[in-house]
Structure 1
Amino acid sequence: MARFILFVCFALNSSSLLEAGETRTWEGKWNNRKYNTTGPLKCVATSDDKGVWQATFTGLFKGDPFKYKATFQSRANGKQMNLAGDATIRGHKYQWTGFMKGATLNGKYRSNIGYYGEFVLKEKK
């Protein structure tokens, strides 16, 4: 019985963080630590019932617009959602980790050619 109650509490907590088919939008800035550059970044993501998100990131790199798609997995951890994903941008492989907490999406990324940095985005309703 205790396991069942724990499972129900976990499921309710997870559903308050994530709803299947939900689309969320965040905006903010990214930083590239290799070249000490920064720019605007927007993420629009939709989740499924298994915690998988399909996201489109758009922004600027040295005045040059970019757009790429990424898939990431989410997992509830208390009041935040831990994230992990990957993307291919201009032929280069990127891996990133992060978390959603409240209205904030935080992430850190690293590419196979040495680009690395982070982003902090705030949700837009």
Structure 2
Amino acid sequence: MLRCILLAILATMGSSCLQAGETRTWEGKWNNRKYNTTGPLKCVASSDDSGKWKATFTGLFKGDPFKYEATFQSKPMGKQLNLSGDAVIRGHQYQWTGSMKGNMLNGKYKSNIGYFGAFVLKEKK
């Protein structure tokens, strides 16, 4: 369940002005507001020239490790990148939105089965 949430989270990243092909890493926590659960989350992502991102999200849900791949689209908006995407995790549809600004990656997600939450990640150098 949390794993699905995390993939949705993936869609939201927090930094701006990334060069195509550059890889960045963020770490922090996710939360599932439906069940009031939380855990560590890491995102490693890179973009291409068209603003498309590929990301790998890893973390823990109640001590159980998870890993999800995600893709999403970015759109520059002032000093941040607005992010959005869709994902299917364990057969469930997820939608997410987020932003990259400075060294932060923030996102919100929701699924077609009622899971919803957010994450806040800080870039790890």
Normalised by the length of structure 2, the TM-score is: 0.84
After TM superposition, where is structure 1 displaced by more than 4 Å over at least 4 residues in a row? none
User: For residue 62 of structure 1, what is the aligned residue in structure 2?
Assistant: 62
Deviation at 1:30, TM superposition (A): 0.2
How far apart are 1:63 and its partner, in Å?
1.1
Q: Is the 8 A contact 1:59 1:65 kept in 2?
A: yes
Deviates more, 1:41-50 or 1:80-89: 80-89
Percent pairwise identity: 82
Opposite residue 94 of structure 2, the aligned amino acid is Y
Match of 2:32 in 1: 32
Higher RCO structure, 1 or 2 (CA under 8 Å, sep 6+): 2
Q: Is 1:109 the equivalent of 2:103?
A: no
Q: CA deviation at 1:53?
A: 0.2
Looking at CA atoms only, which structure, 1 or 2, has the larger radius of gyration? Answer: 1
Which residue does the alignment assign to 1:121?
121
Query: C-alpha root-mean-square deviation of aligned residues, in Å?
Result: 1.0
How many residues align? The count is 110
Question: What is the TM-score normalised by the length of structure 1?
Answer: 0.84
1:94 deviates by 1.2
Describe the SS at the equivalent of 2:49: coil
Q: CA deviation at 1:18?
A: 2.3
Q: Is the 8 A contact 1:29 1:119 kept in 2?
A: yes
| Distance in 2 (alpha carbons) for counterparts of 1:91 and 1:65 | 19
Contact 1:30 1:119 in 2 (8 A): yes
State the shift of 1:64 in Å: 1.1
Give the AA of the match of 1:74.
S
